[in-house]
Amino acid sequence: MPSRWTILAVLFVARAAIAVQFQSIAAIAPELGKALDANLADIGVLIGLYFAPGVALALPGGAIGRRFGDKASVLAGLAMMLAGEMLLFTSTSWSVQIAARLISGVGGVLLNVLMTKMVVDWFTGRRIATAMAIFINSWPLGIALTLAGLPLIRAEFGIAGTQIAVMALIVAALALVGFLYQPPGPAAAPASAEGSRLAKPAVWAVLLAGLIWAFYNVGFAMIFSFAPSMLVERGWSTAAAGSAVSIVLWLP
């Protein structure tokens, strides 16, 4: 059986793939806007649509994992991410672009919900804080790599090249999860929490923490989603703009 650190590395790569796909629109927004004849507001719609399915899927995501199994659900989510990216690659129709981002977003939301639980399953009671710190940093790392790398790929191979690069990463994540991930053994599995309920103070605390986290992420996401386009409008190259904005994510 793989060690828990190997499992963490697999989940790290899979979560980084979500970040790369999410940021792939913003990283090349100026050129993509020209190709799609879309303005900045339209690009903002494509960016935001990725997590729109989270409104409906975040709560039942855990139940989906219990019903079909964590690994099968994560593989299905990665497959949906790949299908969405393939749609982006094959058509420049605006309606197809919207459908593609929604399909990818459904897969991304499933992964976000389930993989956190999978990390907890493997590390509960054993360096859980260290494991979660490493796991959470997969997101800013993926965003930073996208900002720094995708504009260079676009300059060399065009927009299609960036989409192929994103697809390749998702395929790699699919292979890693499919071949290497295993559920923890009985000794490592957490005790069942069926029938347990949070007390009211805990519920309010969780809701408040979630609200704070949501507002923080909205503000933070606006920086790396729209700052590259702003810098390009001021005369920067897309590659230089992406690299400069990525510093925000490298520093933490």
**CATH code of the domain covering residue 48:** 1.20.1250.20
Sign of the torsion formed by the C-alpha atoms of 57, 60, 65 and 68: negative
Print the domain residue range for 43: 4-250
**pLDDT category of residue 252 using cuts at 50, 70 and 90:** low
Q: How large a percentage of the chain has pLDDT more than 70?
A: 92
Q: Say whether pTM exceeds 0.85.
A: yes
Q: Report the percent of the chain where pLDDT is more than 90.
A: 40
pLDDT 10s digits, 177-218: 999 998 887 655 554 445 456 687 888 888 888 888 778 777
Place of tokens 């090349």: 28
Does residue 183 come out as left (phi exceeding 0), alpha (psi in the -120 to 50 range) or beta?
beta
- For residues 31-60, give the mean pLDDT: 84
Count of domains for the chain: 1
Is residue 4 over pLDDT 80? Answer: yes
| Distance separating alpha carbons of residues 190 and 122, to the nearest angstrom | 8
How many residues does this entry show for the chain? 252
Residues 6+ apart with CB under 8 A from 231: 240, 241, 244, 245
- Tell me: the pLDDT tens digits for 64-118? 878 888 999 999 999 999 999 999 999 889 999 999 999 999 999 888 889 988 9
* Phi then psi dihedrals of residue 53, to 5 deg: -60, -15
Distant-in-sequence contacts of 119-126, Cβ < 8 A, 24+ apart: 119/8, 119/11, 120/190, 121/70, 121/183, 121/184, 121/188, 121/189, 121/190, 122/4, 122/7, 122/8, 122/184, 122/188, 123/4, 123/8, 124/188, 124/190, 126/4
pLDDT by residue (tens digit) across 201-210? Answer: 888 888 888 8
Side chain identity, residue 179? F
Model confidence at 159: pLDDT above 80: yes
Distance CA(7)–CA(184), nearest Å, equals 10
